[in-house]
Each structure stands twice: as C-alpha cells, then as structure tokens.
A and B are shown apart, each in its own frame.
Chain A
Amino acid sequence: MLFQPINRNYHDFSIVRDKDACINCKVCIRQCSYEAHYWDETRQKVMHDNAKCVGCHRCEALCPTSALLIQKKKSDFRDNALWRPEFIKYIYKQADSGGVLLTGMGSPVNIPVYWDKLLLDASQVTNPSIDPLREPMELKTFLGAKPVKLEFGKTKDGSPKLKTKLTPNIELNYPLMFSAMSFGSINFNLHVAMARAATELGICYNTGEGGLHKSLYQYGKNTIVQVASGRFGVHRDYLNAGAGIEIKVGQGAKPGIGGHLPGEKINEMVSVTRMVPLGSDAISPAPHHDIYSIEDLLQLIFALKEASEYRVPVSVKIAAVHNVAAIASGIVRAGADIVAIDGMRGGTGAAPGMIRDNVGIPIELALAQVDQRLRDEGIRNRASIVAAGGIRCSADVVKAIALGADACYFATGALLSVGCTLCGKCYTGKCPWGIATNDAKLAKRQNPDVAAKKMINLVHAWGHEIEEMLGGMGLNSIESLRGNRDKLRAVGLSDTEMDILGVKHAGR
C-alpha cells in the first residue's frame, strides 16, 4: 500500500497467473481497460495490480494459454452477520470520496427469486402432451389493446366483414423483446446488432431514452422508441420511426430517479442522436415534469398518439413499486396500450447502489398483482402487460406468462450473450467487453455481425425451449398459457406469498 490510501488492499478480486503457462505475450495488457495488467520493463515480464481488477474476466477469456484465473480475494473480515464485507467496504469508499456509491447492472442482493419457487405443470395420461417437433406450436404474440368483442357485418357479395375497429398492435414472433438500453449507455455497434437481431427474429428492441440514430430508422418495424423524462433525442421523425412508443416513467433498477449518462460516454454520435452537447452529462429528471397525475399521463399518451397519428400503440413503463397494481390500473385507464413493469432486479448502466439494492419489489409479485387487478376491474383487454427485470431463461419467460404477462423484456440476458460478465462497472464507460462504452478502441470489440448472431441464437434457443414446455403442458399456443396460473405451483412459499402470486402450493 506504499503511497496508496490505507484501504486500497481491500479489493474484490485477485489475478492468479500460472507462471508455467504465461508467455508474456501481453494480450492481457491490451485487453484490460482498467490497466490491471502491465509490462514491467525492469523484470521484462507481465505483472498485475490486483487492486485494479474489476472481475470482468476479459483477460481470462482471451488469454491464449489459459494462464489466468480471476478469483475472489480470499481475505476475509471477521464474520459479522450485520456488518457484512460489502457494507464495510462501502463505508471505506465513502469516507474517501464523500460521494454516492455508483453501480451498474441489476441488483445482486439476496432477496427471494420467486421464479425459483414456482414449478410448471406437465400433462400425463388424461391430457396428452404435444411434441413441438411434429405439431404446430404458436408463439406469436400481439401487444396492444384488444377489443371487448368482435362484430361482423357482410360485404356486398355476402362474405363476412369485421365491423369492429381494431387498435394498432405490435406483432412479435416470440413473446420476447430486447428491453430499453439507450444509445450512449451501450454503443452503436450493439444498437446495430439489436436492431438486426430483432428484425431477423420478428421481435422488437427498445431504443431506451437516448434517441435513435438515423441509420437505424430502416429497422423501425422492429423498434420501440422510448420517451423518457429527459426527452433526449425525441422529435417528430423519431416518434414516427418505430412500431411503438414507450413512455418511461420508471426503471426497476432505480425507481424514483431518472437516467444518468456520464459525460465521458457522450461522443459525437451520441451527442447528435441525444441532442445534447458533446461531453456533457445527460441527466434525466427524476419525474416527467409534465406528469404529476394520471390525467397528466393521459395527456402525454394522447399527445404521442396524435404525433404518431394513432398508427402505433403507446406503452408506459413503470418500476415495480408498492402500489404497482393501482398505478397500472390508472395507466390503462389513461389510455396506454401496453404496461411494462420493471422489477427491482432489472439492469442499469448506472444507478446509486443504495437505490438499486433497496428500492422496488420483485417482478413476480408485481406482475401477478397487476394482472389480477386489471382482470378484477375488467380492463385487462385494454392493455398488454410486459414483464421486465430479472428474466434469466426461457422457464422464467414461461412462468411470467403464466403469471399474466403478454411478453417479457430482457436485456441483461442479451448482454450476457455478447460477453458481459456482470462485473457491474458499466458506469465507468471503460467496459472491457466493448458493451457499456463509447471509447472507439473498446466499442469495436463488439462486431455487430457476431453480436447479432449471438442474440438471434439465444432467442431461437429460448423459443425452442418455450415450445417444449408448452407442449409438455398440453398447450399448442402461448395464448393458452397467458394468465393460466393453474399451470404453476409454489414450493416453500408462505400463504401470503402464494396469495399474492395467485398460485397453489405444490401438491395441491
């Protein structure tokens, strides 16, 4: 710790270098954007500084001789159930900096993951299961308001004709969408990759609040454009560029506060797209300053519908918080066609750790409550529900749909598919995987051809698994699973939890 702050050695990771395998080829030095590896001129070999390691595993992944191992630092503080090591380190950091503790990605805190406590049903004997490889299986999903009933008339030649006027819907080939990650928080290469992947898959990706680069307007049919409290990059062409418009009221990782893009990440392209000065922090206000009531929200929803000539559905995204069901009811009554609910484990490029880890509620509980409330009030058909924040695998998607979601947003999974290791340092703008960075040298680590292929593969894989699970339950359409909580059973949950989720315990 010579010449260093006294707590510098309390770092999280250790770099273990296998001396027999390391050939001093310097690949690790070139890959590490935090300069944890360096060339020691005197010793003529590669050395490292453990204190700088963020645990992103980039060096380990690219080391051509597999000589590197990134481990948690083994040094332990004395066991203390209250003062766990993370809290001790927070105090040290804040005593040095006097600042808010920033974090990236979704909350790692140990709150119950209800997906893991829910089990799916399968058909046996009385209701045969379906083999998706031999029989048709429908995953097609439509997002938007549905009519209460359909009325038919007849044309002059006597053939039937739909009299009911349908509202615009978004058509998805899978009940999945890439959730909002703004251009700026992630770089252009990944926006290109998401746009191409969504187009090939027949699903949608969400622009996030950073606007849409002109060159990506061609993927508009598979794009949801977001309008957030900062109104970054919002103009008439933008609103008309996508297949849907989303008003972002809240984000699961940081309910109650707005987005925050550090100036370091604002390069020329981001600056033009966001319509903010080069290098300036883009900080979205915590509230929309024109929304202080459901009536205000209604005005904004219809302002956006007017601006887009009622061609596309309008979604409202909120963070899952305590009275989420009542809020969602208000949102639907205000005219939203889609309600997106983001649970507290949702990802972020930058959020204060205290808010990320302590504010909001899990998506499973919020989703079940919103679906039930909208059903009870007889307005469930007026809006689709999209669940977000902590969808890890296809089984989570199936469970979310059985709990009442129409589709799921997933973003952390999409980033993992292109290399992210959840090191949580997105806010530094130095992402060694070339994801949460606009540094030209780092951003090109994401080749859109490679990234798009990986995202497409992931969704194809999930699609196959969803079909298998549906078939197992004797269902041949995702529609038949929607809100079908009889297909779910709980293990190890209390009566209250099961009541909120609207599921029975396993064995019942």
Chain B
Amino acid sequence: MKRVYPDKDYCIGCHICELACLTAHSKSKDLILAYTVERGSEGLTSCKHVHERGPTCVALSCRHCDEPACVAACISGALQKDSESGRTTYDREKCVGCWSCLMACPFGAIARHPLENKIVKCDLCADRPGGPACVAACPNQALKQEER
C-alpha cells in the first residue's frame, strides 16, 4: 500500500505538516480557525508530530502497519485493519478510551484526545481528494506518499 514516508535528511522542522493536518481534520477547513478556535473548543489535534534532536528532525504519524499492534490490542474493535485499502482504520463511535492502543503502538503514533476519551490517529486523509494534506503541504518534499 502507499504509505506516507518522512525523509529525515530533508525535513526542515517547519511543522507546516502539523498545520496542514489540523486544517484537513477541522470542521471549518480554515487554518486560522482550526488553530485559534477549534484546537481549544474541539480539542482538535494534529495526527502528525515533528520530532527533533539537534539538526535532525522527522515528521511521524501512524505507519498503518501490516500487522498493527494497536488493532490486536483494541478491546472494542474500534481499530481495524482494512484489507482492501491497507489502512488501519479508527471508528470513533466504538472507541471506549481504554488507551490499550497507545500502550501497544511501537511508534508512539497514537495520541489521546485532549478533551474526550478518544484517540487521535492518522487516517491518511481518507476523504481528502488530493491525498494526505501533510504531503501536499510539505515545502521541501520531505514527506512522500508512495509504495515501497
């Protein structure tokens, strides 16, 4: 499947991918409202996080693993592996907020929702026509969606 791969050699640590993720998952689809209003009122959180150490930085999010540990750990069936698309999907309604997936994920790519007993996880912008927002926004082509 096509996954989003970060390139640590050319990630410049601008965090614009995080802003793109916020906007793509906001109600308003407007960066200014998403960042200044919805982050507080809705607990809107980026699925992508830029990690930095010294000159090295890299933008990480859910790897959509072939054999996802989070799916195996999920007690409510909210996390599933979609055999057709290859995505690790999340059903918010089913999630009971037990955080088993957070413990199980070897990449630390799942976050707690700041306001509700839910999780925040990359959905590869399933509903976005142009593909993942982070890939489209990266100013240095350090995020690539491709088959590897």
Which residues of A come within 8 Å of B, CB atoms?
Answer: 21, 23, 25-27, 30-31, 62, 64-65, 434, 439-441, 444-445, 447, 449-450
How distant is B41 from chain A, measured CB to nearest CB, in Å? 15
In angstroms, Cα B13 to Cα A30, docked, is 8
Question: Given A30-B15, A64-B16, is A447 in contact with B35 using a C-beta cutoff of 8 Å?
Answer: no
Could you say which of A21, A441, A450 contacts B140, with CB atoms under 8 Å apart? Answer: A450
In contact, A62 and B14 (Cβ under 8 angstroms): yes
Task: Note all chain B residues with C-beta closer than 8 A to A27.
Answer: 14-16, 19
The residue in chain B whose Cβ has the minimal distance to the Cβ of A28 is B14
Task: Note all chain A residues with C-beta closer than 8 A to B7.
Answer: 447
Tell me, yes or no, whether B12 is within 8 Å of chain A by CB. Answer: yes
30 A-B pairs whose Cβ atoms sit less than 8 Å apart in the complex:
A23-B32, A23-B35, A23-B36, A25-B15, A25-B19, A25-B35, A26-B15, A27-B14, A27-B16, A30-B13, A30-B14, A31-B14, A62-B14, A62-B16, A64-B16, A64-B19, A64-B31, A65-B31, A65-B32, A434-B12, A439-B55, A440-B55, A444-B9, A444-B12, A444-B140, A445-B12, A447-B7, A447-B140, A447-B142, A449-B141
In angstroms, Cα B13 to Cα A31, docked, is 9
Task: Note all chain B residues with C-beta closer than 8 A to A440.
Answer: 55
Tell me, yes or no, whether B10 is within 8 Å of chain A by CB. Answer: yes
How distant is B120 from chain A, measured CB to nearest CB, in Å? 18
In angstroms, Cα B7 to Cα A64, docked, is 21
The residue in chain B whose Cβ has the minimal distance to the Cβ of A63 is B16
The residue in chain B whose Cβ has the minimal distance to the Cβ of A434 is B12
In angstroms, Cα B14 to Cα A445, docked, is 10
How distant is B37 from chain A, measured CB to nearest CB, in Å? 10
Task: Note all chain B residues with C-beta closer than 8 A to A64.
Answer: 16, 19, 31, 137
In angstroms, Cα B7 to Cα A83, docked, is 51
Task: Fill in one digit per residue for B121-148: 1 if any A CB lies within 8 Å of its CB, else 0.
Answer: 0000000000000000101111000000
How distant is A119 from chain B, measured CB to nearest CB, in Å? 39
Could you say which of A25, A65, A439, A441 contacts B13, with CB atoms under 8 Å apart? Answer: A441
How distant is A2 from chain B, measured CB to nearest CB, in Å? 32
In angstroms, Cα B7 to Cα A25, docked, is 22
In angstroms, Cα B36 to Cα A440, docked, is 33
Most chain-B CB neighbours within 10 Å: which of A21, A62, A444, A450? A444
Given contacts A64-B16, A447-B142, 20 further A-B contacts (CB under 8 A): A21-B32, A23-B35, A25-B35, A27-B14, A27-B15, A27-B19, A30-B14, A62-B14, A62-B139, A64-B19, A64-B137, A65-B32, A439-B55, A441-B12, A441-B54, A441-B55, A444-B140, A445-B12, A447-B141, A449-B141
In angstroms, Cα B10 to Cα A434, docked, is 11
**Interface residues in B101-118 (C-beta closer than 8 Å to A):** none
How distant is B8 from chain A, measured CB to nearest CB, in Å? 9
The residue in chain B whose Cβ has the minimal distance to the Cβ of A31 is B14
In angstroms, Cα B143 to Cα A449, docked, is 13
Task: Note all chain B residues with C-beta closer than 8 A to A434.
Answer: 12
The residue in chain A whose Cβ has the minimal distance to the Cβ of B23 is A64
Most chain-B CB neighbours within 10 Å: which of A27, A64, A439, A449? A64
How distant is B15 from chain A, measured CB to nearest CB, in Å? 6
Task: Note all chain B residues with C-beta closer than 8 A to A26.
Answer: 15
In angstroms, Cα B31 to Cα A168, docked, is 59
The residue in chain B whose Cβ has the minimal distance to the Cβ of A23 is B35
Q: Which 10 A-B pairs have the closest CB atoms?
A: A440-B55, A441-B55, A447-B10, A23-B35, A447-B140, A445-B12, A64-B19, A444-B10, A23-B36, A450-B141
Task: Note all chain A residues with C-beta closer than 8 A to B139.
Answer: 62
In contact, A23 and B14 (Cβ under 8 angstroms): no
How distant is A55 from chain B, measured CB to nearest CB, in Å? 20
Tell me, yes or no, whether B119 is within 8 Å of chain A by CB. Answer: no
Task: Note all chain A residues with C-beta closer than 8 A to B140.
Answer: 444-445, 447, 450
Tell me, yes or no, whether B70 is within 8 Å of chain A by CB. Answer: no
The residue in chain A whose Cβ has the minimal distance to the Cβ of B19 is A64
Most chain-A CB neighbours within 10 Å: which of B7, B12, B142? B12
Task: Note all chain A residues with C-beta closer than 8 A to B36.
Answer: 23
In angstroms, Cα B7 to Cα A155, docked, is 59
Task: Note all chain A residues with C-beta closer than 8 A to B137.
Answer: 64
Task: Note all chain A residues with C-beta closer than 8 A to B16.
Answer: 27, 62, 64
Task: Note all chain A residues with C-beta closer than 8 A to B19.
Answer: 25, 27, 64
In angstroms, Cα B19 to Cα A30, docked, is 14
Tell me, yes or no, whether B4 is within 8 Å of chain A by CB. Answer: no
In angstroms, Cα B12 to Cα A113, docked, is 38
In angstroms, Cα B38 to Cα A476, docked, is 62
**Interface residues in B36-56 (C-beta closer than 8 Å to A):** 36, 54-55
Task: Note all chain B residues with C-beta closer than 8 A to A62.
Answer: 14, 16, 139
Question: Given A440-B55, A445-B12, is A23 in contact with B141 using a C-beta cutoff of 8 Å?
Answer: no
Task: Note all chain B residues with C-beta closer than 8 A to A21.
Answer: 32
Tell me, yes or no, whether B74 is within 8 Å of chain A by CB. Answer: no
Task: Note all chain B residues with C-beta closer than 8 A to A447.
Answer: 7, 10, 140-142
In angstroms, Cα B13 to Cα A444, docked, is 10
In contact, A23 and B31 (Cβ under 8 angstroms): yes
